[in-house]
Amino acid sequence: MTKYEYEAEKWNGARVKGRIEAKTQMEVRVRVKNMGYKCLSVTESTDGFGKTAGNISLSLKEKIDFTQTFLTLNKAGLPIIESLIFIEKDAASRAVRMMAQEIKKQIIAGYTLSDTISKYPDVFGHVYIGLAKAGEDSGEIDKTFERLISLLQKQGNIKGKVISALTYPAFVVLLAIAVVLVMLMFVFPAFKDMFDQQGKKLPAITQFCIDSGEFLKDKWMVIPLAIAAMIISGIYLLRWPPSRRKIDELLLQIPLIADLVKAAAFSNFMTVLQIAYDAGIPILECLYLSKTTLSNSVMNDAINISIKKMQSGAHLSEALKASNLFPKMILFMVSTGEQSGRLGELMTQSVMYIDQQLDLIIDTLGKLVEPVLLIFIGVIVCFLALSLYLPLFQSYSVS
């Protein structure tokens, strides 16, 4: 992969510069066009910019810390360079310190803050870069960074809610697997001699458990290898586009899971749309920025339909409706906002509505998971108990 620098023109004539890692210049032009810009020039990067920062990866918490500290220092009246020097020296995270050092070097070399950040799309993301550019162009960098902090915290909250909803069932499933392995490898082999002394043919499920336990005890290396194979296969399937699309399609077809995926995606999408609109970014560009928050390829394709609709002159509500993706309540709020001239306010209300729906879905999922897990554990316990005690019941009945 080669690093290229491009210069492009927005729909309103404003010039933007950026940096993309790609295989060919043609790929860069296509990606710039997909961002909604008119590509003017593409050149291979020769200044070595970003080589050190290319290995830096900021977590969501680190991005929040960096943005919050920078905003606080900027509000205190410190120049950008001094603020970055402070972060470079005193930030708790090594990655944040290195990032501040790289940004400081480029600003000293004559780059603006937004141009410098735009060189690292893999670190900050297109939404962060777009909002920072809008804030710098409008002279409202403080308000823009406040919006960014709000956005990052919102994304962190959504991520935390989804993870918390999945942590308990995942823990129970892993614990059940561990118990089954212990029973198969240590408990059933201990009863094998007693079963053999009976001189009778064992029930099928008992024989299966004993054979499985002996195999796992003798070939215990199969367990870590199987776990590693499952993890590697899962990562590959998630990264390979055809399988990833099938997974995305499946997630949108499973009851309740589909509601959770959609609600989380809508919350991020509408939050970015509202924040970008309040920052003064043109509505079409707001839609492009919001689209980058969608990780589901099926939903991403649906938003492409909305973008094409807006490019042909449709209003935002009409464009969103064309995707056949958004709930009627959101479409109604956006349409009302356009007609009344209060689009920003109604988008804020729609974000609040989606967040309420997301909380309800997570609560419902949590309540539904508990009985499902009880049934799952009950089936496992029943299977193991029958496997262990069926031979004993048979011997008692014969005697």
Which element (helix H / strand E) includes 6?
Answer: strand 2-9
Mean pLDDT of the 95-112 span: 86
How many whole angstroms separate alpha carbon 52 and alpha carbon 151?
Answer: 27
The count of other CB atoms within 10 Å of the CB of residue 381 is 12
Q: 241-268: per-residue pLDDT in tens? A: 888 889 999 989 988 888 888 988 898 8
How many whole angstroms separate alpha carbon 182 and alpha carbon 239?
Answer: 34
Q: What is the pLDDT of residue 52?
A: 43
Q: 1-46 and 52-124: same fold? A: no
- Residue labelled with tokens 């129970």: 172
For residue 194, is pLDDT > 90? no
For residue 54, is pLDDT > 70? no
Q: Where in the chain are the domains?
A: 1-46, 52-124, 141-399
For residue 1, give Cα distances in angstroms to 6, 21, 181, 352, 399. Answer: 16, 6, 45, 42, 76
Q: What is the pLDDT of residue 45?
A: 66
- Residue labelled with tokens 């001699």: 193
Q: What is the pLDDT of residue 50?
A: 44
For residue 296, is pLDDT > 60? yes
Largest CA distance in the chain: 94
For residue 3, is pLDDT > 80? no
Q: 333-346: per-residue pLDDT in tens? A: 999 999 998 988 99
The answer to whether residues 310 and 283 touch, using CB atoms and an 8 Å cutoff, is yes
Burial class of residue 281 (count of CB atoms within 10 Å of its CB; 0-12, 13-18, 19+):
buried
Predicted confidence band of residue 394 (pLDDT cuts 50, 70, 90): low
β-strand partners of 155: none
The token pair at 54 is 């290319």
How many whole angstroms separate alpha carbon 332 and alpha carbon 160?
Answer: 29
For residue 276, is pLDDT > 90? no
Q: What is the pLDDT of residue 246?
A: 92
Q: What is the pLDDT of residue 124?
A: 86
Q: Report the range of poorest mean pLDDT among 16-30, 41-55, 283-297.
A: 41-55
Q: What is the pLDDT of residue 36?
A: 67
Residues 6+ apart with CB under 8 A from 27: none
Q: Is 296 helix (H, G, I), strand (E, B) or coil?
A: coil
Percent of the chain with pLDDT strictly greater than 70: 93
* DSSP per-residue letters across 312-336: TT--HHHHHHHTT-S-HHHHHHHHH
Top-tier CATH class for 52-124: mainly alpha
The answer to whether residues 395 and 195 touch, using CB atoms and an 8 Å cutoff, is no
How many whole angstroms separate alpha carbon 5 and alpha carbon 289?
Answer: 20
* DSSP per-residue letters across 10-52: -TTS-EEEEEEEESSHHHHHHHHHHTT-EEEEEEE--S-TTTT
- Residue labelled with tokens 């935390």: 160
For residue 7, is pLDDT > 50? yes
Most confident of 12-26, 143-157, 338-352: 338-352
CA triplet 118, 68, 98: central angle to 5 degrees? 55
How many whole angstroms separate alpha carbon 389 and alpha carbon 399?
Answer: 16
Instruction: Determine the CATH number of domain 1-46.
Output: 3.10.20
